[in-house]
Chain A
Amino acid sequence: MKKLLLSAALVFATATGAQAAGDVVAPPAEQWAHQGLFGTYDRGALRRGLQVYREACAACHSLRLVAYRNLMEIGFTEAEVKEIAAEKEVRDGPNDEGEMFTRPARPSDKFVSPFPNPQAARASNNGALPPDLSLMVKARVGGADYLYALLTGYKETPPKDVKMAEGMAYNVYFPGHQIAMPPPLSEDGVEYADKTKATVAQMARDVTTFLTWAAEPELEDRKRIGIKAILFLIVLTGMLYAVKRKVWKDIKH
């Protein structure tokens, strides 16, 4: 019964959402350092990914649920975090004169959004609203695999029978294949501090890793505690079984 339920659940999970318009291409499965029971985030990828976010994405996409201080959880020093934060200005106030003013961001502030509101974002992007990226990996079917496929899935020339709408780009993995975001990554677009070659695939992998962390900062704790919890439960359940057998020993059942 349980097997039936589990396989049924699996079918549900794959069935919902993706099958609708018929033109949805499932992203290929990728290998991620953070996947699996013992996965942890690749710290190098996280650093490079932050750089890609700041240089290629932050102009249009906010990351409003992540605070600058959270970067200290993935290996940035307090000094580095203060510096990264201080590059952006935050609106604050009112001061004692009743005026609003701007000040440099502090580690306790959330990542500063490129636009003050959705209307300003649309106005700067031909009416399209670049979504916030804090939860993007959890908000899309396929998660990190999908994000990576999307970023590397642009085609300069669309297939012959496809008529592109004004201002749209062709992407193999975007549902409907026409996406308002132009290809955000280009070869050597970023000069990595650790001298890694910035191919599109590399940058896509790094920024996807970074965004996975942004969506699931608790992942490493969760898996670590989870292993302890399940091992503990297996031991305890084994002991409970022994107790059960002992108590029931003389009952004919």
Chain B
Amino acid sequence: MASSADTAATDSQGQGDGESRRDFLMLATGAVGAVGLGAVAWPFIDQMNPAADTLAVSTTEVNLEPIEPGQRILVKWQGKPVFIMHRTKEQIEKMKAEDGGNLPDPQKDGDRTVKPEWLVVVGVCTHLGCIPTGTKQGEVRGEFDGWFCPCHGSHYDLSGRIRKGPAPTNLPVPQHAFPEENTLKIG
């Protein structure tokens, strides 16, 4: 019998000749249903976002007291290494003087610190993600006396700026603050 097939055929074209105007009830119900589906879908997507306990440890506090002028340390923050350097006056002056120099990623030294004597940068090379050497005494520091990435030869200066090599941008400066005299809070 043709009836079933007819209904099927017309359905595949849309509403069919008998009801050429969009049925308001069907449309409205479909729309409400779609909203419901979206509302249900959201928790399934959001649950992959960082959980509350992960967000709670998204800041790290560091005691700066034991760090001598000229000394550098490495701390972990959000699972990544962060270089902290207690810069001397001379080092700060030198970096400011080179603000207008030949910088692949031009940036003023003053814009990269909250307190000029404390350099805080994420120690992940902006090229392909290796950890540059130079934090410990005796490690290679590169031509600009800052940090050197052994993977592909990027050189960073005492402001964490890229000076030579394949890395495109300066070492990122994470949000940081000094809630107390000798305390650094990262993140």
Contacts and interface: CB of A to CB of B under 8 A. Distances in A.
Q: Assess A/B contact in the complex (Cβ within 8 A).
A: yes
Interface in A26-72: 67, 69
Interface residues of A, number: 14
Nearest to B31: A239
B150 interface: no
Given A67-B56, A108-B56, A239 B36 contact: no
A239 B25 contact: yes
A108 B51 CA distance: 13
Contacts of A233: 36
A235 interface: yes
Interface of A is mostly: helix
Interface string A211-244: 0000000000000000001001101100110110
B53 A235 contact: no
A236 B36 contact: yes
B57 A239 contact: no
Interface in B1-35: 23, 25-26, 28-29, 32-33
B25 A108 contact: no
A235 B32 CA distance: 9
A179 B39 CA distance: 48
Given A232-B39, A240-B29, A242-B29, 13 more contacts: A67-B53, A69-B56, A107-B56, A108-B56, A229-B39, A232-B32, A233-B36, A236-B29, A236-B33, A239-B25, A240-B33, A243-B25, A246-B23
Interface of A: 67, 69, 107-108, 229, 232-233, 235-236, 239-240, 242-243, 246
16 contacts: A69-B52, A108-B53, A108-B56, A108-B57, A229-B39, A232-B32, A232-B39, A236-B36, A239-B29, A239-B32, A240-B33, A242-B25, A242-B29, A243-B25, A243-B29, A246-B23
